[in-house]
Structure formats: structure tokens, C-alpha cells
């Protein structure tokens, strides 16, 4: 019920915003490449979600002096400093996000509520959703892919379990957009939705 309440609020927000614009939200990163090819979700929105996440963590965590926001090192530095705490659930998600990020969250909830499974505390990513299953299947790192697969088949997979594995293999995001998209969905947007859900309950 909590997730349905959040989705209802997001639908109202998106509807109101749409009255003022021909677009659902003003996309900022459509000039970036869109290499992910998976059925079940809008390609433009999902890439906007990915690049929004990458810019968020780069702004918060990068230590390099690189200022070119299209440079790989700009994002990779952010990933390296985010990935362990982000996967463990210890990142300061609300401080990392921008107003644009909040609009992405609203869109993900409104358009794809079946991405998420409501739990006693927060939400989980629905690994059986066609889009999510596709990105998991297309990881280029066979060891990471197999580890997740085996843990899921044993019904014991939790994202936090992979924090160290992801940390050791985080450079893969430079060449594997499917891995990058999974990290965005399951370590960032999932946590933002959970926080939003908790805030809504606390404000009741």
C-alpha cells in the first residue's frame, strides 16, 4: 500500500507537470549515446536515468580535476568513490540527488511501477521484469553475471552482498552500459524510492 500511495503522488505530480510542458520532463542528456537495447522500458527515459545518476555521483564524489563532463574519467572517479557505500545502502542519497533526479524518480514510478516490489521496509528491484532481466543477462563480465545468477537461484541475493565484488570490478562500467544501468537502478533509484516512501509514511 505504501508503494501505491507514492506512485499515486508521483502520478499527480507528473500530470501537473505535463500540463505545463509537451514533454514529461525536460531531458538533459539526450545528446549522450544510448547503447542499451532492452525491451520493456522507454529507451530515452532509461538513458536519461542512467546519465542523471552518473552526473549525480560524479558531482558528489569525484576527486579528479577533470571538468569535462563528457570525459570517461569524470564519471569513473565518481563510481569508484560511490560504489561500495552506494551498494551497501550507506550513501547520502538525498544529498546526492538534484531536482532533475526527483523528476526521474517520479517518471520511473509512474511509468514502470512493476519495476519495483514492495517490501516491509522499502522496495526491491524486480529482477523478473523483462527490462531488468535483459540488462542482467547482458553483463559483459561473466564472473559478476554468474555470481548474481547463482545467488538469485539460491534465493539469497541482496545487492549489499555485492558491494566488494562491484568495487573490484567497477571499471567495467566504462565499457559495459548494462552493468552501469543495473547499478543506477538497484543501488541509487531503489534507495531514493525507499527514502521517499519512508518520508511519506512519516508525514502521514
What pLDDT, on a 0 to 100 scale, did the predictor assign at position 199?
79
Q: What is the DSSP string of 101-129?
A: HHHHHHHHHHH-GGGEEE-SSSEEE-TTS
Q: What share of the chain is helix, strand, coil (3-state, %, to 5)?
A: 65, 5, 30
| End-to-end Cα separation, the chain, in angstroms | 13
What pLDDT, on a 0 to 100 scale, did the predictor assign at position 55?
94
Question: What are the Cα distances from residue 96, in Å, to 38, 58, 191?
Answer: 27, 9, 12
What pLDDT, on a 0 to 100 scale, did the predictor assign at position 74?
73
What pLDDT, on a 0 to 100 scale, did the predictor assign at position 8?
44
What pLDDT, on a 0 to 100 scale, did the predictor assign at position 66?
61
Average pLDDT per block of 10 residues along the chain, 204 residues long: 47 42 75 96 97 95 69 82 96 96 96 94 94 98 97 95 97 96 98 89 64
β-bridge partners, 118: 123
Question: What are the Cα distances from residue 108, in Å, to 2, 47, 68, 115, 175?
Answer: 16, 12, 28, 8, 25
Question: Residue 194, SS3?
Answer: helix
Please state the pTM of the whole predicted model.
0.87
CA 166/CA 161 separation, integer angstroms:
10
What pLDDT, on a 0 to 100 scale, did the predictor assign at position 63?
73
User: What's the Rg (C-alpha) of the chain?
Assistant: 16
Contact in structure between 123 and 117 (CB atoms under 8 Å): yes
What pLDDT, on a 0 to 100 scale, did the predictor assign at position 120?
85
What pLDDT, on a 0 to 100 scale, did the predictor assign at position 24?
67
3-state SS, one letter per residue, for 28-45:
CCCCCCCCCCCCCCCHHH
Summary count for the chain: helices (H), strands (E) = 10, 2
Question: Residue 130, SS3?
Answer: helix
Amino acid at each position: 500500500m505504501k508503494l501505491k500511495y507514492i506512485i499515486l503522488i508521483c502520478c499527480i505530480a507528473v500530470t501537473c507537470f505535463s500540463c505545463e510542458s509537451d514533454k514529461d520532463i525536460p531531458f538533459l542528456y539526450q545528446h549522450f549515446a544510448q547503447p542499451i537495447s532492452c525491451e520493456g522500458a522507454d529507451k530515452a527515459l532509461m538513458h536519461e536515468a542512467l546519465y542523471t545518476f552518473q552526473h549525480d555521483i560524479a558531482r558528489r564524489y569525484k576527486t579528479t580535476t577533470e571538468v569535462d563532463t563528457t570525459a570517461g574519467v569524470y564519471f569513473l572517479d565518481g563510481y569508484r568513490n560511490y560504489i561500495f557505500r552506494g551498494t551497501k545502502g550507506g550513501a547520502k542519497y538525498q544529498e546526492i540527488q538534484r531536482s532533475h533526479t526527483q523528476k526521474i524518480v517520479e517518471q520511473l514510478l509512474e511509468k514502470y511501477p512493476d519495476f519495483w516490489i514492495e517490501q516491509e521496509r522499502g522496495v526491491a528491484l524486480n529482477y523478473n521484469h523483462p527490462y531488468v532481466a535483459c540488462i542482467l543477462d547482458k553483463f559483459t563480465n561473466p564472473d559478476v553475471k554468474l555470481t548474481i545468477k547463482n545467488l538469485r537461484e539460491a534465493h539469497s541475493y541482496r545487492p549489499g552482498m555485492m558491494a566488494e565484488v562491484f568495487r573490484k570490478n567497477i571499471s567495467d562500467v566504462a565499457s559495459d552500459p548494462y552493468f552501469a544501468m543495473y547499478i543506477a537502478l538497484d543501488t541509487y533509484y531503489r534507495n531514493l524510492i525507499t527514502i521517499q516512501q519512508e518520508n511519506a509514511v512519516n508525514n502521514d
